[in-house]
Amino acid sequence: MLFVAAVAAVALNQRPAVVAVAPLLGDLRADTGLSPAMAGLLTTLPVLCFGAFAPLAPRIARLVGLESAVAASLLVLAAGIALRLFPPVALLYAGSLLVGAAIAVANVLMPAYVKREAARPGLVMGLYSASLNVGAAVGAAATVPFAAAVGWDWRGGLAGWLALALAGLALWLPVAGTGRVRRAPRDAVPGGGSWTLLRQPLARRVTLFIGLQSVQFYSIGAWLPTLLADAGVPVSEGGLLLGLSNAAGAVGALVAPARAGRMHGQRPLVLAVLAAYVVGLGGLLLVPGQGTSVWVAAFGLAQGGGFALALTLIVLRSPTPLTAARLGGVAQCVGYLLAAVGPLAVGWLYDLTGGWTAPVLLLAACLVPMTWAGWGAARDELLRTGERPRAASPV
């Protein structure tokens, strides 16, 4: 079905252009002469853009229509990837900014689109979230082999994801082309600002839950290979274990939203996510060099299921697609700005203490407010917006 294929295609494009940079940083620095800090900015800048541009997405949808806004985000994504392929070095940063801005818009609008179109939004959000994880896993694992296969330098590794963005745009255009006239009145954004939603405790809890989920993901994603290497795990296995984490995350991302959509309240899922986090972080804290695949898989399952649940809560707690877009913009703005701080805090603690006990304990401590927020966000209620809830269109 075109609807399902289009949703999956957009989701598959939301991570590779970002995660593909990290495996190439060594070759990139050798070629360009960038310092470690400036090279690290290439991986941090898109995440900052996820937060900075997220609140603009509902207003862009108001101007051009929801489907057209997503199509434009894919076009900007392709342009950003292309910019990074050319000298001078400044274009690397300009391209990364465009990549981050484009993904921010799609991140916010896709849950709203699913809310509006799907009769069973939980099931479709599961597909969307699983595709996010698959895209991240493939982006991390395939970038370097692709560059070697085509015989190019690091630019070849980045160029492969341009084709994926264009393919996603080709699948999405039939959806965008059918939506503007019929749906523009339903997509209109009212005069009230999205930030006013945070006056409600429910919106604040959804926002905190998605933010602390993002802190876990980006912190472990940035430092897991180093943590495992310090524990005596061979460097050659670090990438495989990171891939295992993403694969387990895809399973959690597929299952959690599908289950959430069938439940009146999602608190049992919040507890299941907490349990998986405790197993994963507990193992990495106490015996990282033994049973490593179990701890990494448990963390991946927790992160994939938890983040997918957070996105699904945006849909389930919103009475209308419009509210889902507004709440998504606010929650992801705060969430990704928190996420950008996470790896820095973990790295600072590692440098300060010379080990991983304090950093992992910090992440474990974050589970307390995360679970508190998730417990409140999982209560069966809707945000109060004055809008009449709309029934979803059948798929």
Per-10-residue mean pLDDT of the chain, 395 residues long, equals 88 89 80 80 84 89 89 96 90 93 93 85 86 84 80 83 93 72 42 75 93 88 81 75 82 88 90 96 93 93 92 90 87 85 86 91 96 94 69 38
Residue 55, in any domain of the structure: yes
CB atoms within 10 A of CB 69: 26
Side chain identity at 93, as an amino acid letter? Answer: Y
What pLDDT sits at residue 69? 93
CATH number at residue 64: 1.20.1250.20
Q: Is residue 60 part of a domain?
A: yes
Is 389 a domain residue? no
C-alpha to C-alpha distance for 125 and 110, rounded to whole angstroms: 9
Tell me whether residue 352 is in a domain. yes
Q: What is the pLDDT of residue 185?
A: 42
Q: What integer pLDDT is reported at residue 120 of this predicted model? A: 79
Amino acid at 296: V
Query: Is 70 within 8 Å of 172 (Cβ atoms)?
Result: yes
- Whether residue 395 is contained in a domain is answered as no
From the list 4, 10, 2, 11, the residue with the least C-alpha distance to 120 is 4
Intra-chain end-to-end CA distance of the chain, in Å = 9
pLDDT at residue 243, as a whole number: 74
Task: Supply the pLDDT for residue 206.
Answer: 93
- The torsion angle over the Cα atoms of residues 330, 334, 337 and 341, rounded to 10 degrees, is -170
Range of the domain at 103: 2-377
Distance CA 336, CA 156 (A): 28
In a domain, 385, yes or no: no
383 within some domain = no
Residue that is written with structure tokens 């820095």 in the block: 344
In terms of C-beta distances under 8 Å and separation of at least 24 residues, what long-range contacts does 371-376 make, across chains too? 371/270, 371/271, 371/274, 372/205, 373/204, 373/205, 373/206, 373/208, 373/209, 373/212, 374/205, 374/209, 374/270, 374/273, 374/274, 374/306, 374/309, 374/310, 374/313, 375/267, 375/270, 376/201, 376/202, 376/205
What are the structure tokens assigned to 5, written together? 């294929």
Total domain count, the chain:
1
Report if residue 393 sits inside a domain. Answer: no
How far apart are the C-alpha atoms of 68 and 61, rounded to whole Å?
8
**264: exposed, middle or buried (Cβ count in 10 Å: 0-12, 13-18, 19+):** exposed
Backbone angles phi, psi at 280, to 5 degrees: -65, -55
23 close to 140: Cβ distance less than 8 angstroms = yes
